[in-house]
Amino acid sequence: MKILIVDDERDVEDLFRQKFRKEVRSGDLELAFAFSGDEALKILSADNPPKVVYVFSDINMPGMTGLELLDKIKERFPHIQVSMISAYGDQENFKKAMDSGAKEFFTKPIDFISLKKEIGKLIDKHNS
């Protein structure tokens, strides 16, 4: 199962690779990374249908925001689930994200225990 993490902070890649090392090694999970909304859309458009089944996107990014990316993904790839990540747990972004079809909303620092549970459920569903 392939997930895409979108964040303009490049150190996020190392963090996700470390936290999901076991799932990647077992072949249950493939991680892809984009460092902008435009790059994320290119990755999603590379395969038809996209191999990515889940997107985790930061909200605050230069250029296209995560909320704008969420709208574009929901419009072009409605079957892909999207969760948002924000350094700010403000109600306005939370409400916008959920109203736009986000599955979950995580605040930084990311609670990897709950994120691993979420991804574990996806892996189980994907493998069944």
Q: What is the domain range of residue 15?
A: 2-117
CATH number where 45 lies: 3.40.50.2300
3-state DSSP assignment of residue 49:
coil
124 located within any domain: no
* Look-up of token digits 């799932």: 23
Q: Are strands 2-6 and 30-34 parallel, antiparallel or unpaired?
A: parallel
Q: Which two tokens stand for residue 118?
A: 């979420």
> How does pLDDT run across 69-104, given as a tens digit for each residue?
999 999 999 999 999 999 877 889 899 999 999 999
DSSP label at 84?
A: E
Read off the tokens for 57.
């996107």
For 48-72, how does the pLDDT look when each residue is reduced to its tens digit (9 = 90+)?
A: 888 999 999 999 999 999 999 999 9
Residue 125 lies in a domain: no
